[in-house]
Amino acid sequence: MFGELIPLGGGDPIPLLKKRLIVGRRENCDIVLRFSNVSGQHCELFVVSGYWYVRDLNSTNGIKVNGVRVKERRLDPGSILSIAKHQYEIRYNPIELGAVGPPPPDTLEQDIFARSLLERAGLVKPKRTEEEATPSKPGTDKEKQETLSDHDEPRYDVLEGLRRRPGPHSR
């Protein structure tokens, strides 16, 4: 386990079982939050240099770190992550995750000119790339590969706890 999210409103801790997790309402998310104000794929949690980061996946209701709305931010141990209106404290040990030296930057945005100032301030939605704008056809190689790689990986459902993803032949 690479850490855990502690629900501030009560409830069981949510284990962070992989170093990259998708959080949302959809069944195929690594952490399933069954709340109507949580988007299908709401945000992504990932580890860089021993520290957890969160990135909003263009959700409707956004994410906040310590009360500040963000698109992407480093989550220090003890930070409060708000997904829509649901708050969680993140607990982990950066040294156990490989951290050495000072923490990495708060955000990982590499190219400062990649997004407009309005996009970076969260005032307009980002422009979709051609790949995002083109809907993928069911059965494509990329979709098959993602489907195959998702089977048998542990995931967390907020209502059902830890369980394995269903295989291709299970009902």
Torsion angle, alpha carbons of 160, 39, 131, 116, to 10: -140
**Residue 142 above 80 pLDDT?**
no
Ramachandran sector of residue 98 (left: φ over 0; alpha: ψ -120 to 50; beta: rest): left
**pTM of the complete model:** 0.68
Burial of 70 (0-12, 13-18, 19+ CB in 10 A): buried
Mean pLDDT of the chain: 81
The predicted pLDDT at position 15 comes to 96
**C-alpha Rg value of the chain to the nearest Å:** 17
User: Edge-to-edge strands of the sheet including 161-164?
Assistant: 72-75, 51-56, 43-48, 20-24, 31-32, 154-157, 161-164
**115-134 pLDDT, tens digit each:** 677 776 767 766 655 544 55
Q: Which residues contact 101 (CB under 8 A, 6 or more apart)?
A: none
**85-112 pLDDT, tens digit each:** 999 999 999 999 999 999 988 887 655 5
**17-69 pLDDT, tens digit each:** 999 999 999 999 999 999 999 999 999 999 999 999 999 999 999 999 999 99
Per DSSP (E only), the strands in 116-158 are 154-157
